[in-house]
Chains A and B, each alone.
Chain A
């Protein structure tokens, strides 16, 4: 017996137009790279397009896919890690600039936890699920990230 999920509430094109920039922003905060962000988001939409009818909750699915693809990219494209971090397109207030610089220096997992918790407002338990890490480990990631940031910004 097969069970089919309900059809998505919104169409693919509508979702693409409404949420592409939000997904690009999420990917950028996670990766710090315009190029990576565009690659990731386009790949995510391309993949999702092929199975759109089976995706029950598109936006959470797409966000999770973006996170996972950025994570995969961080593992596989080590050369990118050696590149200097890209700057945002406009001058930032000093406090924001300093804080963003320190966030970008965090190890990737800690950075992902910070972005997902403080930008996406996800609880740590849900972040653990997305990152496929034990909840206690993510709580530790979070604590260590805050310790580093607090020291760096003191």
Chain B
């Protein structure tokens, strides 16, 4: 029987209860919840990757237990070819960007792309992808939805986020529609990333070289760096 007769004993009971319940909640518990529901609550995953570099360990953990995305008819049945934006490979681990097929809580299409790594998405298994969207989240009647109004007024604003692919990472830049390329520089390394136009914004995936620990990203408009768009990115290594 609970001992809640006095304010002191009730206070002790409440403290004990709250700390006991809290202690049952581990990082694994939240990660497991996310992985088990990786397809349906996509909005949550989208927020997850929106954090940028710090989201990486979580994305890594969420991938546990997933498997292979198959090519061929089964694959085509799963992702319509016209939805595939691009394909790539990091250290032999293949991935693709596809247009998002998600909807918000009101059933309206969600913009942006999803990064799909083959080995984390076995046919018949739960999806395990990361969503990337341009803009910033706003609480609405339809849940957290993306608001691009402030971003569209300033081409220097962008979103960057990513996930582990193979032994390294694929980082996705979501940029203003006027941006024509994303320039990556690092200790003699320079690369202008191709920008794919999806839903009125640009998306540029960057396959981070395995030996790169830090780089600078800048947004280009017609070959010129847009002022204020420079960002130094440290590559998180597990």
Residues in B with CB closer than 8 Å to A43 are 47, 137, 144
Q: Which of B2, B26, B37, B53 contacts A98 (CB 8 A)?
A: B2
Structural contact, B24 and A90, CB atoms closer than 8 A: yes
State in angstroms the CA–CA spacing of A89 and B21 once bound together: 9
CB distance from B5 to the nearest CB of A (A): 8
Q: Does B54 count as interface, using CB distance less than 8 angstroms?
A: yes
In the complex, A72 Cα to B41 Cα: how many Å?
A: 19
Sample 14 A-B pairs with CB under 8 A, ordered by A number.
A12-B54, A13-B53, A13-B236, A21-B26, A25-B25, A38-B30, A38-B33, A38-B48, A39-B44, A39-B47, A95-B13, A99-B13, A118-B11, A118-B15
* B106 beta carbon closer than 8 Å to chain A: no
Let me know if B29 and A16 touch, CB within 8 A. no
Given A38-B34, A45-B51, A119-B15; A76-B139 close (CB under 8 Å): yes
A84 to chain B, nearest CB (A): 16
Number of A-B contacts (CB under 8 A): 119
Of residues 118 through 157 on chain B, the ones whose CB sits less than 8 Å from some CB of chain A are 137, 139, 141, 143-144
Residues of chain A touching chain B, judged by Cβ–Cβ distance below 8 Å, are 12-13, 16-17, 20-21, 24-26, 28-29, 34-35, 37-39, 42-43, 45-46, 49, 72, 76-77, 88-90, 92-93, 95-96, 98-100, 103, 114-115, 118-119, 146, 149-150, 153-154
Chain A residues positioned under 8 Å from B30 (CB to CB): 21, 24, 34, 37-38
Using a CB-CB cutoff of 8 Å, which residues 1-16 of chain B contact chain A? 2, 4-5, 7, 10-11, 13-16
**Which residues of the partner chain A approach B54 to less than 8 Å between Cβ atoms?**
12-13, 16-17, 45, 49
Whole-angstrom distance between the alpha carbons of A13 and B51 in the complex?
10
1/0 per residue, CB under 8 A from A, across B26-38: the answer is 1101100110010
Q: B25–A76 contact, CB under 8 A?
A: no
Decide yes or no: A29 and B43 within 8 Å by CB, A98-B2, A153-B2, A154-B4 being known contacts: no
Name B's A-contacting residues (CB within 8 A): 2, 4-5, 7, 10-11, 13-22, 24-27, 29-30, 33-34, 37, 41, 43-44, 47-48, 50-54, 57, 137, 139, 141, 143-144, 236
Contact A92/B18 with A35-B33, A98-B2, A150-B10 known, Cβ cut-off 8 Å: no
